Amino acid sequence: MALLDILCYPDPRLHTVAQPVQAIDDGLRSIVADMLETMYKSNGIGLAATQVNVHQRLIVIDVSEELNQPLVLINPELVWQSEDRVKGEEGCLSVPGIYDGIERARTVRVLAHDEHGQSRTIEAQGLLSVCIQHEMDHLMGKVFVEYLSPLKQGRIKTKMIKSQRAQQR
Ligand code: QAP
Ligand code: CO
């Protein structure tokens, strides 16, 4: 197992569109294990492969209280979303320290494979629904701050670039 580096906004690689996973094999399971370790160590509830510079359709999530219910979504496809929408506070491991309200579908139904190749449909509401939509956006090259006004996006970019410069010293 290994900790992976997380790309930080506004890194242009975060805008890469991920390709479908071709084979669910030991190589892929090793990336899954590293992504889970990286997510837990960073106090995250969700991490998309895009964020660790792996451009394949792969997401790990754990929204459980005890942090013992890892969810692995391989080649996730949105099969249905409610018209009903809700606004909730979001953050992102790739945009540390930034949180804002984002509107999303209240309920989503997603078809995905797990790390053993088993396929299943997940119907999600609440935090899991928000997290799945947030992580699936990453696979399409979209970061949550892109839903905010251009003014806010500009401020966030400046703040991120400054703090990344400060960390380099
Ligand atoms: C996406 O986000 C999400 O700024 C996952 O300093 C967020 O795990 C889905 C994190 C909210 C639903 C609701 C962010 C950790 C973690 C930070 C995360 C930070 C440390 C974000
Ligand atoms: Co994120």
pLDDT per position as a tens digit, 53-105: 999 999 999 999 999 999 999 999 999 999 999 999 999 999 999 999 999 99
- Of 62, 63, 129, 131, which is best to mutate to test ligand 1, by the most ligand atoms within 8 angstroms of its C-beta? 131
Distance 119 CA to ligand 2 centre (A): 24
User: What is the pLDDT at residue 168?
Assistant: 83
When pLDDT is cut at 50, 70 and 90, the band that residue 169 belongs to is: confident
CA gap 131, 135 in Å, rounded: 6
Which numbered ligand comes closest to the C-alpha of 130?
Answer: 1
User: What is the pLDDT at residue 1?
Assistant: 84
Copy the structure tokens of residue 98.
């930034």
Residue with CA closest to ligand 1 atom 8 = 44
Cβ–Cβ under 8 Å, residues 47 and 70: no
In sequence order, what are the beta bridge partners of 108?
Answer: 81, 124
CA 25 to chain centre: 22
Q: Which of 130, 97, 134, 132 minimizes the C-alpha distance to 111?
A: 132
Q: Which atom of ligand 1 is nearest to the CA of 44?
A: 8
Give the predicted TM-score (pTM) of the model.
0.98
User: What is the pLDDT at residue 46?
Assistant: 98
How do residues 105-145 score in pLDDT, each as one tens digit? Answer: 999 999 999 999 999 999 999 999 999 999 999 999 999 99
Q: What percent of the chain has pLDDT over 70?
A: 100
User: What is the pLDDT at residue 137?
Assistant: 99
Can 37 be counted among the known catalytic residues? no
